[in-house]
Every structure is written in structure tokens, then in C-alpha cells.
Structure 1
Amino acid sequence: MSRLDSMLRRLTAQRDGLNWAAEQIRTMEGDVLDMGLGNGRTYDHLRAILPARRIWVIDRVLQCHPSCIPPDQDFLQGEAKPMLVRLDTEGRRIALAHYDFGFGVKEKDVAEAAALSPAIARVMVPGGIIVSGQPLAGFEKLVGPEGIPPGRYMFYRAG
């Protein structure tokens, strides 16, 4: 498979997974959290499919497309763990989280996801959904929407 085909499959799986997750939380209270803003495509999609929800964003740096800059009060710039602690301390609760942090080194990315899992769990509402590009620890693993190959994206429910 070409790298272009692989990227298209990844982006399609991400979109379909987020749409599925948004449907799962329709009647649930809580905000949305995008961990890893990048260029802002996912944040922009979350705004489109969940327009009534507050969407928090965590990233080390703000370097997204100008049309995808979150409001200052919703952008938490810095390392993930202190930003998750801040959300928890402020009593913010998340119904849907998207995890997309990464250094581009698989072993390092998997280790970071596992290390951040307890902090993510503390901000989630019971039953909240997490869509992740990396394996997380301590959550109920879910079968996501049809058509997404196993391991392409992971889906979890918070306890």
C-alpha cells in the first residue's frame, strides 16, 4: 500500500471514529478534549460535529492553520500531564476525548500514552468515550464503528 493510501485510510478511520464517538455521547453531559492540536484538522471536525460542546485543546505549541485556532480560554499550552491536572483541579469533566500525542517514535509514543492514561481517566465522565491513535491503559476497550481495521484506531470507555 502506498503512503498516500495509508494516510487516506488513517484519516477516514479517524473521521469515522470521531463521528461514531460523537453519537455515543449525544445524551451525556461533559466537554470534549482534543489532545494534540497539530494543524487543527481534528479540532475543526469536532467543532463541526459537536457545535454545542466546549472543546478543550492541549498541545505543546500552537502551530495550526489560522482557521483552526481555539479560543484562548480553551487552549491549554504545555506538557500534557500538568494540563490534564489543571482540568481536573478546575472540575472540568470530559465526555469525549481524542488522543493524538506523539513524537513519531512508536515505543516512546506507546509509553507516553500509558503514562498519561491515569490523568486522562481522572477528567473523564463515567462512560465517556476516548478515541486514540495509541493504546491506552485502564479503560474498557470498545469495538468501534464497522470498517475500521483493528489497531488503526482504538476506542475506549471510561469507568
Structure 2
Amino acid sequence: MSRLESMRRRLSAQIDGLNWASDYIADIHGDVLELGLGNGRTYDHLRQQLPDRRIWVIDRVLQPHPSCVPPTENFLLGEADDMLKQLARRGAKMALAHYDFGFGVKELDVAEGARLSPLIAPLMMPGGLVVSQQPLTGFTQICGPETIDPERYLFYRAQ
């Protein structure tokens, strides 16, 4: 599979997964957390799908497309560890978290997901959903939509 085909598969999985997740959390109170803003495509999709939810965003840099800049009060600039701890101190609770961090090196990505998982877990509402391209720990993995290869995108229910 070419890198271009792999990218198409990833983007299709993100769209299908986030749409499914938006429906899944319909009856769960709480905010949404976007871990990794990048150019803002998934953030933009989340605010379209969940217009009545507060969407928190964490990233090291702020350089999205100009139409995808989150409100200042919802954007936490810095290292994920510190920003997740800051959200916990604020008492923020998430119905949905989308984990979109990655270095592009499988071993580093898996290690970072494992390291950050214990900081994400306390932010989640019971029954809330974490959607991730990387494996995470401390959550119950569930099956997502049938359109997504279970190894392409992962779905976790919070305890």
C-alpha cells in the first residue's frame, strides 16, 4: 500500500470513527478533548459533529489552518503531561477524547501512549470514549464501527 493510500485509509477511519464516537457519547455528559491539533482537521470535524460541547485542545504549537484555531480559553499550549495535569486540577471531565499524538515511529508512539494514558484516564467520565490511532493502556478496548480496521483506529471505554 502506498503512503497516499495509507493516508486515505487513515482519514476515512478518522471520519467514520469520530462520527461513530459522536453518536456513542450522545447521553454522556462532559466535554471533548482533542490531543494534538496539527492543522486542525479533526478539531474542525469535532466542532461540526458536537457543536454544543466544549472542546479542549492540547498541543505544543499553535499552527492550524486559520479557520481551525480554537478559542484561547480552550487551547492549552505545552507538553501534554503538564496540560493534562492542568485540566485535572480544573476538574474538567471528558465524554470523548481523541488521541492524535504521534512521532511517526511506532516504538516511540506506543511508549508515549502508555505514558500519557494514566493522565488521560482521570479526566474521563465513566463510560466515556477514547478514540486513538495509538494503543493506550488502562481502558477497556471496544469494537468501533465495522468500516474501520480494528488495528487502524482503536476505541476505548473509560471505567
Measured against the shorter chain, the TM-score band is over 0.9
Question: How many Å apart are 1:95 and its aligned residue?
Answer: 0.3
Question: Is the contact made by 2:144 and 2:150 (CA closer than 8 Å) also made in structure 1?
Answer: no
What is the count of residue pairs matched by the alignment?
159
Q: What is the CA deviation profile of residues 28-79 of structure 1, one whole-angstrom value per residue up to 9, with x for unaligned ones?
A: 1000000000000000000000000000000000011000000000000000
TM-score (norm 2): 0.98
TM-score (norm 1): 0.98
Query: Could you tell me which amino acid in structure 2 is paired with residue 158 of structure 1?
Result: A
Partner of 1:59: 59
Deviating beyond 6 angstroms after TM superposition, the runs of 4 or more aligned structure 1 residues are none
Question: Is the contact made by 2:57 and 2:76 (CA closer than 8 Å) also made in structure 1?
Answer: yes
Alignment of 1:74-93 (within 5 A): 74-93=74-93
Q: Which runs of 5+ in 1 are unaligned?
A: none
Q: Which runs of 5+ in 2 are unaligned?
A: none
Q: Distance in 1 between matches of 2:110 and 2:3?
A: 22
Partner of 1:31: 31
Question: How many Å apart are 1:2 and its aligned residue?
Answer: 2.1
Partner of 1:100: 100
Query: Could you tell me which amino acid in structure 2 is paired with residue 75 of structure 1?
Result: F
CA RMSD, Structure 1 to Structure 2 (Å): 0.6
Q: What is the CA deviation profile of residues 134-156 of structure 1, one whole-angstrom value per residue up to 9, with x for unaligned ones?
A: 00001000000011112100000
Question: Is the contact made by 2:99 and 2:130 (CA closer than 8 Å) also made in structure 1?
Answer: yes
Alignment of 1:107-126 (within 5 A): 107-126=107-126
